[in-house]
């Protein structure tokens, strides 16, 4: 009986200029900006590299130093941190929040941007302190949530900023 591997785990590649493992590919490439070399870290399935950084020259001062396990896993950790920071920055850009006090009540106002190539938009929402939704309106993706704009929205009885009801 033949054992067939049905897992989708790609084989590990461990060559001097190309390593693949743990969902990452490290490739040593010629640095187009100078005479040296660079390492490109790409997460599996991604079109663009997560990180491109200078790479060490070998002893002959012409060719790159070969990749090795410690270097590869250090690059994986570094590239993973870059991806995580990018995701955090994107989340912060797409999700804003503030609190306003009106008539003795504290309201949580949030703006969630829905990116879309054709028609991006935002959703402006208000909740009370226990999380009960009070209002929600669609706004332009360019809407800026500030303490002032949130308070104005509440004081305008949660009408859609810009005047048009939706």
DSSP state of 22: T
Is 62 domain-assigned? yes
**CB neighbours of 114 closer than 8 A, spacing ≥ 6?**
94, 120, 121, 122, 123, 141
How far does the chain reach from its first CA to its final CA, in angstroms?
A: 65
Domain identity same for 70 and 122? no
User: 85 and 110 share a domain?
Assistant: no
pLDDT of residue 166: 45
Say if CB 39 and CB 30 are below 8 A apart.
no
What is the per-residue pLDDT for 3? 56
**Is 3 contained in some domain?**
no
Q: What is the pLDDT of residue 58?
A: 86
Tens digit of each residue's pLDDT (9 = 90 or more) over 97-106: 999 999 899 9
- Say yes or no: 88 and 63 in one domain: yes
Whether residue 68 is found in the same domain as residue 17: yes
> pLDDT digits over 7-59, tens only?
566 678 899 999 999 899 999 999 877 778 999 999 999 999 999 999 988 88
Structural domain contains residue 8: no
Domain, as residue range, for 151:
103-155
- 91 has pLDDT over 50: yes
In a shared domain, residues 78 and 109: no
User: 89 with 20, same domain?
Assistant: yes
Same domain, 17 and 89: yes
């Amino acid at each position: 009986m033949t054992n067939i591997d049905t897992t989708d785990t790609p084989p590990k590649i461990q060559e001097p200029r190309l390593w693949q493992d743990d969902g990452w590919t490290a490739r040593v490439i010629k640095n187009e900006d100078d005479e040296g070399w660079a390492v490109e870290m790409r997460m599996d399935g991604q079109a663009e590299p997560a990180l491109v950084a200078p790479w060490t020259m070998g002893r002959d001062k012409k060719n790159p130093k070969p990749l090795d396990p410690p270097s590869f896993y250090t690059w994986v950790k570094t590239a993973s941190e870059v991806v995580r920071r990018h995701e955090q920055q994107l989340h912060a850009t797409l999700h804003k929040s503030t609190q306003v006090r009106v008539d003795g009540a504290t309201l949580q106002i949030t703006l969630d941007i829905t990116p879309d190539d054709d028609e991006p938009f935002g959703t402006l929402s208000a909740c009370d302190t226990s999380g009960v939704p009070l209002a929600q309106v669609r706004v332009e993706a360019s809407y800026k949530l500030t303490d002032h704009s949130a308070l104005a929205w509440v004081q305008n009885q949660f009408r859609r900023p810009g005047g048009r009801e939706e």
